[in-house]
Amino acid sequence: MLTGCRKGTVPAALRIGGMAAAGAELDRLVAAFDPERVLVELTDHGDPADGDRNDALAELATAVGLSTVATNNVHYATPRRRRLATALAAVRARRSLDEIDGWLPAAATAHLRSGEEMAARFAAYPGAVAQAAELGRELAFDLQLVAPNLPKWKLPEDHDEMSWLRHLTMEGRCGGTAHGRRPRRRTSSWTAS
């Protein structure tokens, strides 16, 4: 479980509420997914805020005993594909290109990078690039496979993987008083065929 890019829950909590809020959100993720399954994501798109955010996230990771992982929050393979990715982001958000412009990185930096580029970009965070490479090796699978060798989850006795995912999704989307909503009634469109 990665904590996410600049729009992820931990970085967003950091931006809005500071270190205490980000720490509380990180604690929530660790409680939900287990410490061995949570990695603090560091991204660098050349935005002036990237360095400060990454420093704070790395500090939080160290305080909680979690690893950091350097990603590029890739949205397209090469810089030439940025315009297409921007158009797709606008369509997905149901916004015009002008409306979505402020939500996107300023430069064409969300592309795949070499290990050397990543090592230079994240030199201030020892182990973050190596952790990304290790994670890539662990998660790699042949797309021809029907069932990739993904990690096994600890499940409550009364749940299988699908029912537990459904429970967590509903809890996060509609659960508790935090959202002030009750879970929606299940419809036939939610039922697997």
CB–CB of 174/184 below 8 Å?
A: yes
Q: What does each C-alpha distance from 31 to 37, 38, 66 come to in angstroms?
A: 10, 10, 13
State the pLDDT at residue 151.
Answer: 76
Question: Tell me, what amino acid is at 162?
Answer: M
pTM of the model: 0.71
> Which residue bears the tokens 């509380």?
24
Backbone φ and ψ of 153, nearest 5° = -105, 145
Q: What percent of the chain has pLDDT over 70?
A: 87
Q: Could you tell me which residue, 116 or 89, shows the higher pLDDT?
A: 116
Q: How far, rounded to the nearest angstrom, does the alpha carbon of residue 12 sit from its chain's CA centroid?
A: 11
CB–CB of 60/22 below 8 Å?
A: yes
Q: Could you tell me which residue, 24 or 175, shows the higher pLDDT?
A: 24
> Which residue bears the tokens 């149901």?
94
pLDDT score of 143 more than 80: no
Distance CA 42, CA 11 (A): 10
Distance CA 50, CA 61 (A): 16
Domains defined along the chain, listed by start:
1-74+112-144 (3.20.20.140), 78-107 (no CATH), 152-193 (no CATH)
Distance CA 131, CA 20 (A): 26
State the pLDDT at residue 123.
Answer: 97
What average pLDDT does range 159-180 have in this prediction?
Answer: 73
Distance CA 77, CA 86 (A): 13
CA atoms within 13 A on the CB side of 35: 8
Tens of pLDDT along 52-98?
999 999 999 999 999 999 998 888 899 899 888 888 888 888 988 88
